[in-house]
Amino acid sequence: MTQFPRWMMDDWQGSHLRRPAKSRLVRLGGIETVFEGAVDDLYFQSIEQHALGLDGLAALVAAQVPPASTVVDVGANIGLSTILLARSAQRVIAFEPSPANVGYLRRNLASNGIANVEVVAAAVSDRPGPARCVSMSRSSAPDRTSWRPAMCRATPSPRSTCPPSPWTRR
């Protein structure tokens, strides 16, 4: 297990885990869904637009994902695509390296009665070890955006044994 410098973990936890949270009701794949997120998170600030952008994924999942499927969501964030996938698949494995997002992801799954998701608090890579991650948030001034460097642990991605999908470029 990789050990991160104490100052790095203190900075990460201090800047991300104590942010005030807010809940929003969003229409996701035609279903009203509750999401909680940090008020200064740019993704959460525009969650309605992100949900609208997933209408194509909802149609694809409905047409292509058999109910007995296991689906992997890499970069699950606070759970929009995870919840969408979990409503159709038997099992979802959701990878998310941000400790703050993992907390919101778990709360969002519970708030929406989703129990078929395994949350893995790690990044996915072709090799194990530490990886650099960044988090973007907006300061109190509307024109100021800040990037916060952080470290996360990477998990090697499993070798796929699935047949090639019809939409994969070769």
* Per-residue pLDDT, 48: 94
pLDDT in tens, 94-134: 999 888 899 999 999 999 999 999 999 988 887 777 776 66
**CA dist., res. 114 & res. 142, Å (int):** 35
Q: Which residues have a Cβ under 8 Å from the Cβ of 159 and sit 6 or more positions away?
A: none
Residue found by looking up tokens 């292509």 in the block: 64
Domain range enclosing 65: 11-119
Q: Is the pTM of this model over 0.85?
A: no
Q: What pLDDT, on a 0 to 100 scale, did the predictor assign at position 17?
A: 47
* Residue 111 in domain: yes
Domain tally for the chain? 1
* 109 burial via Cβ count (<10 Å: 0-12, 13-18, 19+): buried
The CA radius of gyration of the chain, in Å to the nearest whole number, is 17
CATH (domain of 30): 3.40.50.150
Residue 139 lies in a domain: no
Q: Residues of 137-168 as b/e, b for ≥16 C-beta within 10 angstroms?
A: beeeeeeeeeeeebbbbbbeeeeeeeeeeeee
